[in-house]
Amino acid sequence: MSAAAVKNYHLKFDSDPIHIKGIRLACEELAREVGFDDKAVDELGLCVNEAIANVVEHAYNFELGRPVEIWVEARGDGKVKEGELRIRLRDWGPGIDPSKLPVKPKDPLVPGGLGLICMREMMDSMEYAAPAEGGMLLTLVRRFPRRRG
Amino acid sequence: MSESQTIETNSTVVPTARRVGESIVAVVKGDVDLKTSPMLRTALLALIKDKIPERLILDLSSTSYMDSSAIAVLVEMLQKARKVQGKVCLIQLQPRVKGLLEIARLDSIFVIAKDEAEALKK
């Protein structure tokens, strides 16, 4: 993409919920800089939050000090009407693909699964892959203008 | 309007709470995510420990962001309230919080009110 800037960041952190807010805010700022509107920025932030929370809670069962890596790559220049933001999140947990778990009918009064629902509804694509070294790699992509349905 | 009585909370996430008649009004402050939702849970459980109120009114005017772990805490409070025919009322919802409640299909399950006065009538 010649006219549009490419912005990236890559962070290594440990599986402590204390990191979630800072990473969410950094992702929101990057999304805003490259031209996503307020609603999309909010949704991207929530999805990053939920993705990391899933790693902390489900991949690592709240065990602190386990490794997590995130790559965020955004394309856009704040003016163009097309672009995308791609988030990759790597953990070294047991390698369970949450998207392959049986889908239960969603009862609003039974907590659980809301993070996955947000990611499915708010992102243009969500893919889990199992690297040979173990764990999971989640890739989330959000484009603008958003491709719907 | 009923007199109100301050309740000590010792919580940064729920810094103030009052008993108003048979209701409890608690102010939730700050973003609530996986780091702070356990603190929210602890504070709310302490408020209803002795008696689950007719209405647990949560003032969310100072909470612009919540994630699914916060929603899980609210649902837990709702389930406890329902066992004694109580209600959980959410007031002064900020747009992001309102949006998440809608995605979770909880916007019609909690009592949503504009402010405390309206919540006390519901």
Q: What tens digit of pLDDT does each residue of A55-104 get?
A: 999 999 999 999 999 999 987 666 555 688 999 999 999 998 888 877 66
- Best A42, A114, A117, A123 residue to mutate vs chain B (most B CBs within 10 Å): A114
Tell whether A116 is within 8 A of chain B (Cβ). Answer: no
Pairing of strands B55-62, B23-29: parallel
pLDDT at A112 over 90: no
Residue B66 DSSP label: B
Q: What is the pTM of this model?
A: 0.91
What is the reported pLDDT for A79?
58
- Best A41, A42, A46 residue to mutate vs chain B (most B CBs within 10 Å): A46
Q: Where are the alpha helices (DSSP H) in chain A?
A: 20-33, 38-54, 114-122
Which tops the pLDDT comparison, A79 or A54?
A54
What residues does each domain of chain B span?
4-121
pLDDT at A1 over 50: no
The H or E element containing residue B80 is helix B68-83
**Mean pLDDT, residues B62-76:** 96
Q: Compare all CA atoms of chain A with the CA of B65 and give the residue at the minimum distance.
A: A46
Q: Where are the beta strands (DSSP E) in B8-110?
A: 16-20, 23-29, 55-62, 87-91
Average pLDDT value for chain B = 95
Token code pair at residue B47: 């408020």
**Mean pLDDT, residues A3-8:** 66
Bridge partners, residue B19, by sequence: B5, B24
Tell whether B39 is within 8 A of chain A (Cβ). Answer: no
The answer to whether B93 touches B70, Cβ cutoff 8 Å, is: no
pLDDT at A2 over 50: no
What is the reported pLDDT for A22?
97
The H or E element containing residue B97 is helix B95-103
What is the reported pLDDT for A149?
44
Residue A58 DSSP label: I
The answer to whether A41 touches B55, Cβ cutoff 8 Å, is: no
Taking domain B4-121, whether its CATH number is 3.30.750.24 is answered by: yes
Q: Is B63 helix (H, G, I), strand (E, B) or coil?
A: coil
Pairwise CA distance, residues A91 & A131, whole Å = 10
**Mean pLDDT, residues B47-55:** 95
- Does residue A145 have a cis bond before it (omega within 30 degrees)? yes
CA distances from A10 to A27, A62, A86, B7, B107 (A): 11, 23, 12, 45, 36
Task: Say if the Cβ atoms of B103 and A121 lie within 8 Å.
Answer: yes
